[in-house]
Amino acid sequence: MILTRYSETPILEPNPANAWEALNVFNCAVVHTDGLFHMAYRAQGANRVSSIGYAVSSDGVRFNRLQQPILVPQDEWETCGVEDPRITYLAEEQRYIMAYTAYSTRGITPFFAESQNLITWKRISPMVVGEDDKDHVLFPRKKQGRYLALHRPAPNIGLAFSPDLKEWQDFQILIAPRPGCWDCKRVGAGGPPLETEQGWLCIYHGYDEKNVYRLGSFLLDLEDPTKVIARANGFLIEPQEPWEVSGEVPNVIFSTGNVVLNGKVYVYYGGADRAIGLATCSLDELLDFILHG
Ligand code: BMA
């Protein structure tokens, strides 16, 4: 295991004082800007309808949260919740894009929203409609005038392009489950792809026949992200601590947020769909692990 837990305990737990986050806080986006770590996290109260809360930290570990959620279910797409935020900063456009899953009795819909301040969000458009597709996340740069996003046409991780974040095209499969491995059943993207000298570093989740969710990693070509350069055989971390092994859903480590700062990779994750943990590693070690095993 390449990732080391920051501590044996979660860095953020449910807050019984607020009904909307009293039961579970888990999968979170984290972006680092101007010396602050901004976190948008999925939260559930007793009715298990998810909203998205906000917290901020100067050290990436001790977070202060807002009392009110920043995104709550709004329309017919979202009656059962807004889930699993992944936030990408588009430096050229000076705006943040949140990819989140809208959930309703109609099913799941991968959606995009935008913000300039990380607190007020405006919905843009679904990525696809009426399919078993979520775990989508935007790349921080365009390629030949088009946006790129990873997404999860079940059970795979795919890539698609868009001129405007509304219409998506050139869908292709990048990463599939591997028979006999820890990620044999289904795979899905984690936080935003990280630009490195070796390629786009992507962290993903996969699960096996026993429904144990672990994190893995792969590298995409910087110039042509349709090319997978390498994929690590081993996982980066697996459920081990009591709060990762049992909670709302047992045996889950699920990440939707990663940051690189001063050569260190910060991976934020939901443990057993109940609390938020942090694990880190050196960027060089992770790249070496993907490229050379
Ligand atoms: C996935 C998503 C995640 C969740 C995971 C494990 O399908 O719904 O939000 O963390 O399952 O339960």
Residue 228: Cβ-neighbour burial (10 angstroms; 0-12, 13-18, 19+): middle
| Backbone phi and psi for residue 200, each to the nearest 5 degrees, phi listed first | -75, 115
Query: What pLDDT is stored for residue 23 in this prediction?
Result: 98
b/e map 206-225, b = 16+ CB within 10 Å:
bbbeeebbbbbbbbbebeeb
Residue 179: Cβ-neighbour burial (10 angstroms; 0-12, 13-18, 19+): exposed
Question: What pLDDT, in 10s, does the model give residues 77-88?
Answer: 999 999 999 999
Q: Enumerate residues lining ligand 1, CB below 6 A.
A: 27, 83-84, 213, 249, 252, 254, 270, 273
Q: Does the pLDDT value for residue 220 go beyond 90?
A: yes
CA of 94 relative to ligand 1 center, distance in Å: 30
As a whole number of angstroms, the distance between CA 27 and CA 25 comes to 7
Question: What pLDDT, in 10s, does the model give residues 224-270?
Answer: 999 999 999 999 999 999 999 999 999 999 999 999 999 999 999 99
Residue with CA nearest ligand 1 atom 6: 252
As a whole number of angstroms, the distance between CA 277 and CA 254 comes to 10
**Architecture in CATH of 4-292:** 5 Propeller (2.115)
Q: Does the pLDDT value for residue 293 go beyond 90?
A: no
**How confident is residue 280, by pLDDT bands cut at 50, 70 and 90?**
very high
CA of 6 relative to ligand 1 center, distance in Å: 22
Residue with CA nearest ligand 1 atom 5: 254
Query: What pLDDT is stored for residue 1 in this prediction?
Result: 82
Residue with CA nearest ligand 1 atom 9: 84
As a whole number of angstroms, the distance between CA 171 and CA 94 comes to 27
CA of 191 relative to ligand 1 center, distance in Å: 14
Residues in a beta bridge with 64: 56
Looking from the CA of residue 254, the nearest atom of ligand 1 is 10
**How confident is residue 142, by pLDDT bands cut at 50, 70 and 90?**
very high
CA of 135 relative to ligand 1 center, distance in Å: 9
- What is the pLDDT of the chain when averaged over all its residues? 97
Residue with CA nearest ligand 1 atom 2: 84
Average pLDDT of the residues in 168-177: 98
What is the token pair recorded at 285?
């070690």
- 39: Cα separation from own chain's centroid: 11
Question: What pLDDT, in 10s, does the model give residues 9-65?
Answer: 999 999 999 999 999 999 999 999 999 999 999 999 999 999 999 999 999 999 999
| Backbone phi and psi for residue 244, each to the nearest 5 degrees, phi listed first | -95, -25
CA atoms within 13 A on the CB side of 248: 22
Q: Does the pLDDT value for residue 286 go beyond 90?
A: yes
Average pLDDT of the residues in 184-189: 98
CA of 269 relative to ligand 1 center, distance in Å: 11
Average pLDDT of the residues in 111-120: 98
Residue with CA nearest ligand 1 atom 12: 249
Query: What pLDDT is stored for residue 38 in this prediction?
Result: 98
What is the token pair recorded at 292?
């050379």
